[in-house]
Amino acid sequence: MQSVAAALDRLGELAASPTVSRLAAAFEAAGHELALVGGPVRDAFLGRPVNDLDFTTDATPDAILAIVKPIAEAHWDIGRAFGTIGARIAGETVEITTYRADAYDGASRKPEVVFGSSLEDDLTRRDFTVNALALRLPKLELVDPSGGVEDLVAKVLRTPAAPEQSFGDDPLRMLRAARFSAQLGFTVEQATEQAMTDLAAEIDRISAERVRDELTKLLLSRSPRSGIRLLVESGLAERVLPELPALSLERDEHHRHKDVYEHSLTVLDQAIDYEIERGVLDSPDLVLRLAALLHDIGKPATRRFEAGGAVSFHHHDVVGAKLARKRLRALRFDNDTIAAVSRLIELHLRFFGYTDGAWSDSAVRRYVRDAGDQLERLHILARADVTTRNRRKADQLAFAYDDLEERISVLAEEEELAAVRPELDGADIMRLLDVPPGPVVGEAYRYLLEVRLDEGPIGPDAATDRLLAWWASREEPHA
Q: How many CB atoms lie within 10 A of CB 237?
A: 24
Mean pLDDT of 180-185: 95
**pLDDT greater at residue 129 or residue 474:** 129
Asked whether 244 and 293 are in contact (CB, 8 A), the reply is: yes
Phi/psi at 313 (nearest 5 deg)? -135, 55
DSSP H helices, 47-157, are: 61-68, 119-124, 148-154
Same topology for domains 4-151 and 259-419, yes or no?
no
Question: Is 1.10.760.10 the CATH classification of the domain at 155-240?
Answer: no
Q: Which tens digits make up the pLDDT trace of 115-159?
A: 878 999 999 999 999 999 999 999 999 999 999 999 999 999 999
- Minimum mean pLDDT range among 58-72, 92-106, 366-380, 399-413: 92-106
3-state secondary structure of 259: strand
* pLDDT (0 to 100) of residue 69: 95
Tell the CATH topology of 259-419. Hypothetical protein af1432 (1.10.3210)
Does residue 93 have a pLDDT over 70?
A: yes
Does residue 26 have a pLDDT over 70?
A: yes
In this prediction, residue 450 has a pLDDT band, given cuts at 50, 70 and 90, of: confident
pLDDT above 70 coverage of the chain, percent: 92
* pLDDT (0 to 100) of residue 226: 97
In this prediction, residue 393 has a pLDDT band, given cuts at 50, 70 and 90, of: confident
Mean pLDDT of 300-323: 86
CA distance 69 to 277: 45
Write out the CATH class of domain 4-151. Answer: alpha beta
Does residue 272 have a pLDDT over 60?
A: yes
**pLDDT greater at residue 9 or residue 51:** 9
* pLDDT (0 to 100) of residue 364: 87
Q: Are strands 92-98 and 53-57 parallel, antiparallel or unpaired?
A: parallel
With 0.95 as the threshold, say if the pTM is over it: no
Does residue 475 have a pLDDT over 60?
A: no
In this prediction, residue 356 has a pLDDT band, given cuts at 50, 70 and 90, of: low
**Domain assignments of the chain as residue spans, ordered by start:** 4-151, 155-240, 259-419, 426-473
Q: How many CB atoms lie within 10 A of CB 284?
A: 16
List residues bridging with 35 in a β-sheet. Answer: 56, 136
**pLDDT greater at residue 433 or residue 102:** 433
Does residue 344 have a pLDDT over 70?
A: yes
* pLDDT (0 to 100) of residue 414: 67
Q: How many CB atoms lie within 10 A of CB 202?
A: 21
Select the highest-mean-pLDDT range: 101-105, 183-187, 250-254. 183-187
- Minimum mean pLDDT range among 5-19, 336-350, 411-425: 411-425
* pLDDT (0 to 100) of residue 351: 86
**pLDDT greater at residue 142 or residue 393:** 142
Q: Which tens digits make up the pLDDT trace of 208-262?
A: 999 999 999 999 999 999 999 999 999 999 999 999 999 985 444 444 435 899 9
Q: Which tens digits make up the pLDDT trace of 1-19?
A: 667 788 888 899 999 999 9
Question: Distance of alpha carbon 123 from its chain centroid, rounded?
Answer: 29
Does residue 79 have a pLDDT over 90?
A: no
Does residue 89 have a pLDDT over 80?
A: yes
In this prediction, residue 325 has a pLDDT band, given cuts at 50, 70 and 90, of: very high
In this prediction, residue 419 has a pLDDT band, given cuts at 50, 70 and 90, of: low
3-state secondary structure of 435: coil
Residue 147 to residues 42, 79, 130, 309, Cα–Cα distance (Å): 12, 30, 8, 56
Select the highest-mean-pLDDT range: 94-108, 240-254, 284-298. 284-298
